[in-house]
Structure 1
Amino acid sequence: MNLFQELKEEDQFTGDFLDKSLIQFCYMKLLQDKLNTVAHIWNTHPIHAQRNRTTPHGRPLIMYTLPHLYGVADHLCPSSRDEILNCEEECLTRRNYPCDKTVFELCSLLMVERGLDPPGDIDQATHLYITLKEEIWNLL
């Protein structure tokens, strides 16, 4: 995204702890929503049959979950509960906060106090980022 490079070039982003946390706070939901939309579109788009090809065609989500309908092998690998628990121990799970918890709480408080709304688009997220950064620096 050029936006983040532009913020850096305009000296609005230095890469320190606060800047990274503010970027996460302001943009993470928008980015995740966009990724979810792309994944949904990809998983539900039709793959059309092609001439001279023996590859299956259909919608990826259905092809993945119901491979027998397409006459292909199910490559799902059954896993034991112990294997799943081992994997969970090695993974970082999604947190309840998009950024550092203290920064999240401070930003949430400032938004309520200043009557700021959650961003609905990238421009609003950028405005919120700059506003919160200024507000926090004024508190220091």
Structure 2
Amino acid sequence: MRQGGGHFWINLFKDMESQGIVATDNTFHMFCFTELIQCELDKIATEWNQHTVRRTMENSSGKPDILYFLPAIHGTVDYKTEADPPDIHSLKMMCRASRPSGCEADFEGACETLLQRNGKTKPSEQREAMDLFAWLVTMLE
């Protein structure tokens, strides 16, 4: 993640926390930044899964997506196994699915209502997220 651009976000939040701009125990920042970060992580995952892995003594060469989904093409073994539906259900019950923003539904709804009432939209880049964060902090304090 750090090599793929994630270090930018790590440093940004460390700087914001050290300056007292953000407290990691509240969710204001999550509403503003989580979807942007997830978008970047999705791009990194796509790039990684489509790059070519070099052959090693233990592994075949190829692209991770192809090696995973079509292992026979490279003469390797498919190690995927089926999971029992009751086990899947049990795991789903133990895990709490999070919203895209990472926030609780009530908080996310309140923020989205504020955006709509004030003619604002969710950010599409880091500077917009910073501006939205500062605005939300003033509106919700």
TM-score (norm 2): 0.82
| Structure 1: distance between partners of 2:23 and 2:101 | 22
**Does the aligned pair in 1 maintain the 2:35–2:101 contact within 8 Å?**
no
Note the 1:58-73 alignment, pairs <5 A: 58-73=62-77
Q: Residue 120 of structure 1 aligns with which residue?
A: 124
Which structure carries more relative contact order (alpha carbon 8 Å, separation 6+)?
1
**Does the aligned pair in 1 maintain the 2:30–2:101 contact within 8 Å?**
no
**Alignment pair present for 1:26 and 2:32:** yes
**How many residues are treated as equivalent by the alignment?**
132
User: Which segment drifts farther, 77-86 or 60-69?
Assistant: 77-86
| Structure 1: distance between partners of 2:127 and 2:20 | 17
| Greater C-alpha radius of gyration | 1
- Provide closer, same or farther for how the CA distance between residues 132 and 74 of structure 1 changes in structure 2, counting only shifts above 3 A: same
**Alignment pair present for 1:13 and 2:16:** no
Note the 1:1-140 alignment, pairs <5 A: 1-16=10-25, 20-49=26-55, 53=57, 55-95=59-99, 98-137=102-141
| CA drift at 1:54 | 6.3
Counterpart amino acid of 2:31? Answer: F
- Provide closer, same or farther for how the CA distance between residues 78 and 85 of structure 1 changes in structure 2, counting only shifts above 3 A: same
- Provide closer, same or farther for how the CA distance between residues 96 and 56 of structure 1 changes in structure 2, counting only shifts above 3 A: closer
Gap runs ≥5 in structure 2: 1-9
Counterpart amino acid of 2:15? Answer: E
Aligned CA RMSD, in angstroms, stands at 1.9
Gap runs ≥5 in structure 1: none
| Structure 2: distance between partners of 1:85 and 1:14 | 35
TM-score (norm 1): 0.82
